[in-house]
Chains A and B, each alone.
Chain A
Amino acid sequence: MNEAMIRVRGLTKRYQRGGETLTVLDGLELEMQEGGFYALMGPSGSGKTTLLNLIGGLDQADDGELFVAGENLAELDNAGLAHWRAASVGFVFQGFNLIPVLSAFENVELPLKLTPLSRAERRQHAEFALELVGLKERMHHRPKQLSGGQEQRVAIARAIATDPKLILADEPTGDLDRKSADQVLELLGRLNAEFKKTILMVTHDPHAAEAAKSVVHLDKGQLKGIEEKRR
């Protein structure tokens, strides 16, 4: 574990908004270790979601270096990024983002279809993931038949189905009530402690940040500091 799981050097990202150019990330320098549970926090506009998207290979930076899980993301093209995402990352979104026309089981199975696993093997993995999040008995339900908290847990099952090293969560508790939020946070904690998953969680909720082991503070596209917590 000498090499950091995530290494960010001089990362810059700009957006065009109605004729003006906004610099969202400004020469960001950052390192995150494998096995960590990081909460990314900062005022709105600080670039935390943008950073998450770049680390997850959903977008490309304008400048700087980005190494994630040993891979230089700047050198990958669209197809390369897609393959990399399938193998290395699991996403959890604020709005759950389950595909409405598929059942819970089918949603969890989706990323597995990108692997060479056989049908029976895929089924095994998917059921295992669903059992982990405690929703195996609802696996044939459609998203609209599940509550918000249940949907998010299915999304987490989907995120871990291919056993990726890295889990990226963007305001995972933003749309949930207190009880469901706690369930989700507890789940994430378990995934980190028991299964050694590296977790990055963007949040503005201090209560959610308490579940993490470290807090990364961003402001105006730059790193303000990393707070290591004793847990």
Chain B
Amino acid sequence: MTKLVWRQILGHPVRSLLTVGAVFVGVFLLCMLRSVVVALNAGVDAASAARLMVQSSVSLFVSLPISYKERIAGVEGVEAISKWQWFGGFYQDQSNFFAQFAVDPVELFDAYPELEIAPEVKQRFLERRNACIVGEQLFEQFRDEGWEVGKSIPMIGALFPHPSGGAWEFELAGTYRSATGALDNRTMFFQWDFFEKTAEQTECGVFVLKVAPGADVSRIMAEIDTLYENGPQKVRTTTEKEFQRQFVTMIGAVPLFVSWIGGGAVLAILMACVNTMLLAARQQVHDVGILKALGFTDGTAFQLMLAQSLTLCVLGGALGVGFALVTEPVLVTLLGTFFPGYAITPETVGLGLGAALLLGLVAGIAPAMSSARLNPVQALRGT
């Protein structure tokens, strides 16, 4: 029977190709959309229980006095504390968007063991005052524009203009790679001290804490918040998961929106597949008549039609998933600005193939039933 299924499919190459094409397009879109949602949640999913963030309770855009560091460090259970400040600058053009942070370098590596970095790069970063490290994805993107280890990268400070009026110069020590989604591979880190001195900074945006293993996290969080109940700047301490989630919930209805689009796309493709299979069934009426005359059962006719539908849809689905996988690196570069965590996960692959399978089943049911019900005499008569 498989031979007959394939021959019928290949016997109408254009129709089969167009159907496979339609499913391919739909499944590819589905995978892409889901990957965007995955990317949005990447930070939340990869959050570590060992890290806490201390920020202003008022706004993301309000900084905390650096002097807070000592008192927070004094809370029992806090193993390491690093100052972080969002730099908010850009390289050459505002459209080149990526994150930059001034950080306490030693504590950065303490708090983020997943930061993979070559020893000589780390050495260079720690030793040179104006050194910076960048994520390997970011380096790949700007390698052709002159970024080179050892050369300096000029950054225009939009939030923190360089006192001379020109650009900040950071010497590139090398690249890093993050083993988890907690950090993306598109960030630039440079030394806090250099930043503090040059910009005469007395504040930092966020304190990133590493807590001792087994410590009572809620107790630590409550204690830190009480330290500054009455000011000058009230703080709020969150787990890394909550910290990341606040960015996701701010995006609001986007995941819902994306699901609707995905659903609509599948529906549209379904219409196309049902249509094709009905057309195929109509065209194969005569052949089904012959088969039944020869003694093939109604069940066989049913299977023949359903098998064609499944084959076309699963083929289209496999191609769609394959294409999504193949284009992943390209899309990571393109969308990296907004969705640094974009990745095709095994679940997405499963979703794509599953959708294709379901499509094949639903689209093939009606034609299969009509084939099963065909009366051989009428089928042979009406060519």
Which B residues touch A89, using CB under 8 A?
295
Write out, one digit per residue, whether chain B residues 278-305 have a CB within 8 A of any chain A CB (1) or not (0): 0000000011011111111111000000
Q: Which residues of A contact B1 (CB under 8 A)?
A: 113
Scoring A89, A106, A113 by chain B CB atoms within 10 A of each residue's CB, the highest score goes to A113
Query: When each residue 1-30 of chain B gets 1 if its CB lies under 8 Å from chain A and 0 otherwise, what string results?
Result: 101100110110000000000000000000
User: A97 touching B290 by the CB < 8 A rule?
Assistant: yes
11 pairs, A vs B, C-beta closer than 8 Å: A58-B377, A83-B295, A86-B296, A91-B294, A95-B383, A101-B4, A101-B10, A101-B11, A110-B294, A114-B295, A158-B294
* A58-B377, A100-B11, A101-B10 known; A85-B287 Cβ under 8 A: no
A114 CA to B295 CA, complexed, in Å: 8
Interface string of A169-197 (1 = CB under 8 A from B): 00000000000000000000000000000
Closest Cβ of chain B: how far from A89's Cβ, in Å? 8
From residue A145, how far is it (CB to closest CB) to chain B in Å? 15
- Cα distance A113–B380 when bound, in Å? 21
CA distance A185 to B258 in the complex (A): 69
A85's nearest neighbour on chain B, judged by CB, is: B295
- From A86, A87, A101, B8 is in contact (CB under 8 Å) with A101
A-chain residues with CB within 8 Å of residue B383 when the two chains form the complex = 95
> With A and B bound together, what is the CA distance between A87 and B294 in angstroms?
9
* A78 touches B (CB below 8 Å): yes
Known contacts A97-B290, A97-B380, A106-B3: does B8 contact A78 (CB below 8 Å)? no
Question: 5 tightest CB-CB pairs across the interface, nearest first?
Answer: A86-B295, A101-B7, A85-B295, A101-B11, A82-B297
Q: Which of B3, B295, B376, B380 touches A87 (beta carbons < 8 Å)?
A: B295
Judge whether B296 and A99 touch: CB under 8 Å.
Answer: no
Give the interface size class of chain B.
20 to 34
Which of A58, A82, A84, A98 neighbours the largest number of chain B CB atoms within 10 Å of its CB?
A82
Which of B287, B289, B298 is the one whose CB lies under 8 Å from A82?
A: B298
CB pair B377 A53 closer than 8 Å = yes
Cα A83 to Cα B290 with chains together (Å): 14
Output the nearest chain B residue to A168 by Cβ-Cβ distance: B293
Q: A58-B376, A93-B380, A99-B290 known; A82 and B296 CB under 8 Å?
A: yes
CA distance A111 to B295 in the complex (A): 7
A120 within 8 A of B: no
Q: How far is the CA of A93 from the CA of B292 in the complex (A)?
A: 14
| Chain B residue with the shortest CB-CB distance to A162 | B295
Minimum CB distance partner of A60 in chain B: B375
Whole-angstrom CA separation of A113 from B300 in the bound complex: 12
B residues within 8 A CB of A95? 383
Q: Per a CB cutoff under 8 Å, which of B286, B294, B375, B377 touches A86?
A: B294
What sequence of 0s and 1s flags, for each residue 57-97 of chain A, a beta carbon within 8 Å of any chain B beta carbon?
01100000000000000000011001111110101010101
**Residues of chain B within 8 A of A110, CB atoms compared:** 291, 294
- How many Å lie between the Cα of A150 and that of B299 in the bound state? 31
Q: Which residue of A lies closest to B287 (CB)?
A: A99
Would you give the 0/1 interface string for A148-180, flagging 1 where the beta carbon is closer than 8 Å to chain B? 000000000010000000000000000000000
Chain A min CB distance to B65 (Å):
80
Do B293 and A91 touch across chains, with their CB atoms under 8 A apart?
yes
The residues in B between 122 and 147 inclusive whose CB is less than 8 angstroms from any CB of A are none
- The smallest beta-carbon distance between A163 and chain B, in angstroms, is 13
Complex alpha-carbon distance, A99 and B298, angstroms: 18
Q: Is there contact, CB below 8 Å, between A85 and B8?
A: no
Distance between B296 CB and nearest chain A CB, rounded to angstroms? 7
